[in-house]
Amino acid sequence: MNNRRALLSVWDKTGIVDFGRALADGEWEVLSTGGTARALREAGVPVTDVSAVTGHPEMMDGRVKTLHPAVHAGLLARRDGPGDMEALAAQGYGPIDLVAVNLYPFRETVADPDVTLGVAMENVDIGGPTMIRAAAKNHRDVWVVVDPRDYGAVLEAVTGEGQG
């Protein structure tokens, strides 16, 4: 499993520390963003900030974190595609083999009759759905996990060690 990379960027942190730890223990490089990276790091899970991969800091109070070719090329690169891996290497990018993403709670937020337009708009997720779609497009090569209840089954499949 050497050189496998997982990108974890979740709103709902349920189970993410155990999931990240199991991946790291399975010799996966764990990439992460903002609060997810902080939760992993505080729990002692080795994590690489996405900004180290992109070469750009998170911007606009976290609105722009993963919207970068280093992330999306890593998700979209077909491992057996003509020239895809060479194109990644030419840019100094690497493949991303698994993405765990869950989205901001927009529906719950706007269900509150007192929610302001500003708060509602901050719960419109852009990067998360974009990563999900990119990974799904390359489903033969990239695992996509959107529900914490699936972490155990995914771990079983990718490392042979399920969780709980």
- pLDDT for 162 equals 52
Instruction: Tell me the CB-side half-sphere exposure of residue 133, using CA atoms within 13 A.
Output: 7
Yes or no: say if 9 and 62 are a contact pair by the CB < 8 Å rule. Answer: no
- The ranges of the chain with pLDDT < 50 are 1, 163-164
- pLDDT for 1 equals 39
- pLDDT for 161 equals 55
CA dihedral 8, 156, 24, 41 (to 10 degrees): 50
* CATH code that applies to domain 4-159: 3.40.50.1380
Closest CA to 84 of 92, 67, 144, 76: 76
According to DSSP H, which parts of the chain are helical? 16-25, 34-42, 50-54, 69-76, 84-91, 106-111, 117-122, 127-137, 151-159
Amino acid at 126: I
User: What is the Cα–Cα distance from 4 to 99, expressed in whole angstroms?
Assistant: 11
CB atoms within 10 A of CB 138: 21
3-state secondary structure of 19: helix
Give the residue carrying structure tokens 């390359």.
138
Residue 57 buriedness (CB in 10 A; 0-12 / 13-18 / 19+): exposed
- pLDDT for 85 equals 92
